[in-house]
Each structure stands twice: as C-alpha cells, then as structure tokens.
Amino acid sequence: MAEDPGKPDEASLIAAARQDPGEFGQIYQLYIQSIFRYLYSRIGSLPEAEDATAQTFLAALEGLGSYQHRGHFAAWLFAIARRKAADTSRARRQVPLENAEQSPAEGDILQQVIQTEQAAALAELISALPEEEHELIRLRYVAELSFSEMGRLLNRSEDAVKKSLYRLLDRLQGQLEVSHE
C-alpha cells in the first residue's frame, strides 16, 4: 500500500501510451487487479464488476489524451471507476462472505475458527458502515491505494485521510472487542 519503489515508472508508461496507444497494455496490467477488486467489492456482482472494469479501462484509454500527468494517475483512474460503479443501476449487494477469498489462518483448527469468526464479525461491522467510511476501507484495503492517492481521489489532504481511517479502525476495533466479550 505504501509507495512501491519497485513500481514501473508510471509517468513514462503514461507518456508512452499517449504517444502509442498500444502501450496502454502496461498501464492496464499495472491496475487491472486493483480496479477489479475495488469494483467487485463495491458492486458485489461479478458480471457487473467485470463490466464496470472493462468500461473503466475503455474510458481511460479514450480519455488518456486529456489526462495531465502530475503523479496522480491512480486517483484519476479510480475516479473513473467510482463513476462507473455509481452508474451501475442495480441494488448494491455486498459480496457474500462465503464467496470472499479468505487468507487461510495458520495454526490449529480452533485458531482458524476464531479468526474466521472475527473476520465475519468484522465484515458485518464494515458492511454496516456509512458509505463514506466504507469507501475508506475499500480504497485502502481492497484497492490498496496509498494515503496520498486516496487523498487526491477524495479531494482531501493525505493526513486528513489517514486520520479519518485510523479513527475508523480504532472504532471498529473497539466494536470488535465488545462483540467478543
């Protein structure tokens, strides 16, 4: 989630794609998983998420000429994705937990059961959050955006986003502890 020093030089990729649209494939490979995961998490339906993902990249390809690179490409791309998600004219449905890919817990069965229960409780708490707070979780832990990218996307300062998220996590942790007492 932090800025990845090993990440390809995004500015170069964008400049190349603007010169030669065929180079857009590298940008696509860089963002396809995070865009898809974000849209799937937000929309909750696989066909719709794939549809919205395709539309996001199509719009990005079409709009790349008008994009002015200032190091905020992820925010620009996710702004398109958010718009496509909002346009999806369907009732929002969360991804059923049983369909979610869980990281298998190491250790004994009891520990796995506890962790699964905690994940379920946490998922329930998160799904009950107001949309604005849910979006913070989604952008950070599903799309894995940096605080800087989140700030740019949400038109807020990096520090403000960080503080908002940490405040939210603090509250969630407290609620999680209460639910297990």
Measured CA distances, 94 to 20, 53, 126, 144, 178 (Å)? 39, 17, 11, 19, 24
**CA pair distance 173, 179, nearest whole angstrom:** 10
Q: How far is the CB of 24 from other proteins (least distance, A)?
A: 5
As to burial, measured by CB atoms within 10 angstroms (0-12 exposed, 13-18 middle, 19+ buried), residue 41 is buried
Q: How far is the CB of 51 from other proteins (least distance, A)?
A: 6
Closest to other proteins by CB, 70 or 159? 159
CB 118 within 8 A of CB 180: yes
Q: How far is the CB of 20 from other proteins (least distance, A)?
A: 6
Q: How far is the CB of 166 from other proteins (least distance, A)?
A: 6
Closest to other proteins by CB, 10 or 28? 28
